[in-house]
Chains A and B, each alone.
Chain A
Amino acid sequence: MSAITLQHLVKRFGAFTALKSMDLAIADGEFIALLGPSGCGKSTTMNIIAGMETPSEGRILFGERDMAGVPMGRRGVGFVFQNYAIFTHMSVRRNLDYGLRMTGRPAKEIARRTSAMAELLGLTDLLDRPAQGLSVNILQRLAIGRSAVMEPAIFLLDEPLSNVDAAFRAVMRTELKSLQRQFKQTMVYVTHDQLEAMTMADRIAVMDHGVLQQVGTPLEVYNTPANTFVARFIGSPGMNLFTGTLTTTSAGLAVDLGPLGISPPLALAQAAAAQQAKGAVIYGFRPEEVGLAPPSEPAFDLPLSLTERIGARTILHLGTPQAEVRAVFQSGTAIPEGLLRLAPAPAAVRLFDAGTGTALLVA
């Protein structure tokens, strides 16, 4: 009953189209992250699922049931707001049992379910404290508990960690994930932070400009991005992408990347995929998949322009500003002076159609 199906969902605000025909099937009990930059339509999608907005076109199904016309209080949806929207004029207990009281449950049931939820979230000692002035992690747990006590089939979380500082975010991510395992509900999690999406979600739905770009497991999205947007957006730093033309060298098919020179020959799978390209292609590889190549092997010769050392990893900025290549190495790696000979692992190379930006995959 708690699977969610979005069919051809469109949302327009006046002349602005926030959502252009979105189709998405979310399985029962799945933790899905809607990931994308600001204004990509992820919050709009979430608000439509919650019933706070009505779609201009399209349908939402919970299980088999069409949700058109069902008011937000009747959808069985738990919603955690970005700012938690805790009722600060009430005590923790009054916040926690608010939904139960408003829907007129018997007093005994209210007391039982409230104390069970408080126990689960470690809020028992705070129940009679005013909700005003509690710390952020308690507010977050309270916001989740306030929705969870209603036992919703679906949980929606709208960037719940964006108000939290970086160190604390890591703690909260683990906490949220373990809470989801306990509740076993379908969770839709909106975020612009790929780290949150990657670490918590079963599947990630990447969105941009109101269009769903790709849906897949975190590793699928990372390893086989459906298009150049996903390739660039996922990963830190994102994928290196350069436009070039296919060319045949003595060692096999390669890509002529203009100022960067000719790429090392493509591996068999990539070469097969490249056959689908009608003209120019985009040659991409992850910064993490780059290695120093010995002089005998084909590689890019690149001048080093900037070195960023961030603890365990070192990010190198190479090449020219027009064609900048980023490479990530372990901090221990010895980086030679002057021109670097770098080559991406052949299997890690991804090709995209230069016209449409979609990935060229082996059929």
Chain B
Amino acid sequence: MTLTDTQPLIPIKRAKDEGARLGFRLTLPAQLLVLFIAVFPLLMQLYISLTDWSPLSGASWPQAWQFWNSFANYSEMIADKRLWSALGRTLFIIAICVPIEFLLGLGLATLFVDDFPGKRVAYSILIAPMMVVPAVAGYMFFMLFQSGGPVNDILSWFTLDPVAIAWLSDRHLALVAVMVTDIWQWTPLMFLILLAGLVGVPADQLKAAALLGASPWQRFRTIVIPRMKTIIIIALAIRVIECFKIFDTLFIMTGGGPGVATETISVYIYKVTTNDLIWGYVAAIALAILIVLSIGAVWAMKRLAR
């Protein structure tokens, strides 16, 4: 063994750089693939959104430049009343469903913090709706809300008269039916998330607050809610984003109808895509919604987190 053998062939710092560079080279293909998957559709969408291209135009999408119309799609969007009312309807559904789901979920979660007989069975039943495939849930409620269906039967027990409400063909009631379905299906998710948050509230702090004379409501307001803030924000964010995209249950129940009475953003985009086949316009709408929703979500999360 000579002295020189103990010295590294490459100085240590350079060896580290070398390692990092080798790592980069090795992961480069995967990184490019990920980048491609994430960015390529967006760029493609941006490109198409600036044209009048449609799959029926005879040209494939890379030739869409032949139908270049600058920002005409975007200015058309501003004047599109059907789009705006679909957006308003979607926001209305969110504004009604998410708070109800939140309050129901929180109430149920509060009940489930303490033990009671049959808790495990009740728990399984309660979270079952979440497991149902949305399309199936839509079909279930489509049948429940038929004019000769169970909902009307149950109502007639209370009114003592036969009830024959045509839920899904009434402009207002169809929206109610759709919202009931959403609440049925997604309250369990709220319940699950909020229960996890409630269980994490330290029992000693609640006892300490009670010993200091705080009433149950005061304990809830000053200890439970502040301790659960992060989880509440996450639960609300998930539901608002999901509810904005509401489609499958609703489409099976009403198809957006009667007329456009239950037409949400997703349903509208679907119709423009498959019926009207104006893909340039669809791309523009989708991109605009993506941008608005992203900005809105980031802003809301930052605000709530304070």
A83 to B202, CA, bound (A): 11
Q: Which of B205, B211, B218, B223 contacts A72 (CB 8 A)?
A: B211
A316 to chain B, nearest CB (A): 44
A105 to chain B, nearest CB (A): 10
- CB neighbours of B222 from chain A (8 A): 87, 98, 102
Docked complex: A59-102 residues within 8 A CB-CB of B: 71-74, 77-79, 81, 83, 85-87, 89-90, 98-99, 102
B115 within 8 Å of A by Cβ?
no
B196 to chain A, nearest CB (A): 18
A348 within 8 Å of B by Cβ?
no
- CB neighbours of A71 from chain B (8 A): 210
Pair A87/B215 contact, Cβ less than 8 Å: no
Pair A89/B226 contact, Cβ less than 8 Å: yes
Smallest CB gap from B221: residue in A: A102
Q: Which of B202, B212, B226, B227 contacts A98 (CB 8 A)?
A: B212
Smallest CB gap from A83: residue in B: B204
Pair A81/B204 contact, Cβ less than 8 Å: yes
B114 to chain A, nearest CB (A): 15
26 chain-A/chain-B pairs, Cβ below 8 angstroms: A52-B211, A72-B210, A73-B210, A73-B212, A73-B213, A77-B211, A79-B211, A81-B204, A81-B208, A85-B202, A85-B207, A85-B208, A86-B205, A87-B208, A87-B222, A87-B223, A89-B226, A89-B227, A98-B214, A98-B222, A99-B213, A102-B212, A102-B213, A102-B218, A146-B208, A146-B212
Q: Which of A52, A98, A99, A150 contacts B207 (CB 8 A)?
A: A52
- CB neighbours of B207 from chain A (8 A): 52, 72, 79, 81, 85
B306 to chain A, nearest CB (A): 13
B209 within 8 Å of A by Cβ?
yes
A340 to chain B, nearest CB (A): 51
B220 to chain A, nearest CB (A): 12
A191 within 8 Å of B by Cβ?
no
A147 within 8 Å of B by Cβ?
yes
The 0/1 profile, CB within 8 Å of A marked 1, for residues 41-84 of chain B is: 00000000000000000000000000000000000000000000
- CB neighbours of A99 from chain B (8 A): 212-214
The 0/1 profile, CB within 8 Å of A marked 1, for residues 174-218 of chain B is: 000000000000000000000000000010110111111111001
Pair A87/B211 contact, Cβ less than 8 Å: no
- CB neighbours of A18 from chain B (8 A): none
